[in-house]
A and B are shown apart, each in its own frame.
Chain A
Amino acid sequence: MATSSLVRSPVSQSPVTAARRLLAVVVANPFGTAVSLGLAYLAWTLGGRIVDWAFVEATWVASSRAECSPDGACWAFIVNRLPQFAFGFYPEAERWRAWIVLLAPPLLLALAMAPDFKGRRKVLIGGFCLYPVAAFVMLSGGVPGLQPVASDKWGGLLLTMVVGIGAFVFSFPIAILLALGRTSQLPAVRLLATGFIEFWRGMPLIAILFMSVIMLPLFLPPGVEFPRLTLAMTGITLYSAAYLAEVARGGLQAVGRGQSEAANALGFGFWATQGYIIMPQALRAVLPGIVNSAISLLKDTTYVMVVGLFDLLNIVTAALSDPNWLGLATEGYVFVGLVFWSLCFGLSQVSARLERDSERAHSRAPSGERKPQ
Chain B
Amino acid sequence: MKRHAFWGLVGLGILATPALAGEGDRVNAIKSRGELVCGTSTGTTIGLSTLDASGKWAGLEIDYCRAVAAAMFGDATKVKFAPLEFKNAFAALQSGSVDMLARAAAWTYSRDTEMKFDYAGVYMYDGQGFLVKKSLGVSKLAELGGASVCVSAGTTSELNLSDYFRSNGLEYTPIVANSREQNLANLEAGRCDAYTNERGGLAASRLGLGAPDDYVILEEIISKEPLGPIVQQDDPAFRDIASWTLFTLIAAEEKGITSANVAEMAASSENPEIQRMLGKTGDFGAKLGLANDWVVKVISSVGNYGEIFDRNLGNGSPVKLARGQNELWSNGGLLYAPPVR
Contact = CB atoms under 8 A, between A and B. Distances in A.
Given A317-B44, A326-B208, A222 B20 contact: yes
A89 B16 CA distance: 35
Contacts of B54: 84
B2 A308 contact: no
B51 interface: yes
A145 interface: no
B28 to A, nearest CB: 11
A28 interface: no
Contacts of A80: 53
Interface string A333-348: 0000000000000000
A329 B185 CA distance: 11
B88 interface: yes
B210 interface: yes
Contacts of B208: 326-328
Given A195-B1, A214-B91, A218-B20, A327 B184 contact: yes
A305 B42 contact: yes
Contacts of B23: 222
A145 to B, nearest CB: 25
Contacts of B42: 305, 308, 310, 314, 317-318
A89 to B, nearest CB: 4
A218 B13 CA distance: 7
A320 B208 CA distance: 10
A195 B8 CA distance: 15
Interface of B: 1-2, 5, 9, 12-13, 16-17, 20, 23, 29, 42-47, 50-55, 82-85, 88, 91-92, 95-97, 181, 184, 204-205, 207-211, 317-319
A213 interface: yes
Contacts of A81: 53
A322 B95 contact: no
B89 to A, nearest CB: 10
Given A215-B9, A308-B42, 10 more contacts: A70-B210, A80-B53, A192-B1, A217-B95, A218-B95, A308-B82, A318-B43, A318-B44, A323-B204, A327-B208
A217 B55 contact: no
B45 to A, nearest CB: 7
Interface of A: 70, 80-81, 84, 88-89, 155, 191-192, 194-195, 198-199, 202, 210, 213-215, 217-219, 222, 305-306, 308, 310, 314-315, 317-324, 326-329
Contacts of B12: 219
A66 B221 CA distance: 29
B2 A198 contact: yes
Contacts of A217: 95-97
A70 B210 CA distance: 7
Contact of B97 (A155, A213, A219): A213
Contact of A215 (B13, B50, B82, B318): B13
Contacts, number: 109
Contacts of A318: 42-44, 50-51, 83
Contact of A222 (B9, B29, B204, B317): B29
A156 B211 CA distance: 31
B45 A215 contact: no
Contacts of A319: 43, 51, 53
Contacts of B43: 310, 317-319, 321
Contact of A329 (B46, B51, B181, B318): B181
A210 B50 CA distance: 23
B16 A323 contact: no
B13 A199 contact: no
B92 A214 contact: yes
Contact of A214 (B52, B95, B204, B209): B95
A84 B55 contact: yes
Contacts of A326: 46, 204-205, 207-208, 318
B2 A322 contact: no
B50 A322 contact: yes
A170 B96 CA distance: 30
Contacts of A213: 92, 97
Contact of A88 (B29, B55, B97): B55
Nearest to A213: B97
Contacts of A308: 42, 82-84
Contacts of B184: 327
Nearest to B207: A326
Ranked 4 nearest A-B pairs via Cβ? A327-B208, A318-B43, A195-B1, A326-B208
Contacts of A199: 1-2, 5
Contacts of B319: 323
Contacts of A195: 1-2, 5
Given A195-B2, A214-B95, A89 B55 contact: yes
A77 to B, nearest CB: 10
A323 B53 contact: no
Nearest to A326: B208
A272 B104 CA distance: 60
B18 to A, nearest CB: 11
A306 B88 contact: yes
Given A198-B2, A199-B1, A219 B52 contact: no
B285 to A, nearest CB: 27
A318 B97 CA distance: 22
Contact of A321 (B50, B209, B317): B50
Nearest to B319: A323
Nearest to A228: B82
Contact of B207 (A202, A214, A323): A323
23 contacts: A70-B211, A88-B55, A89-B55, A194-B1, A210-B88, A214-B95, A218-B95, A219-B12, A219-B13, A305-B85, A308-B83, A308-B84, A318-B50, A318-B83, A321-B43, A321-B44, A321-B45, A321-B46, A322-B53, A323-B46, A323-B47, A324-B318, A327-B210
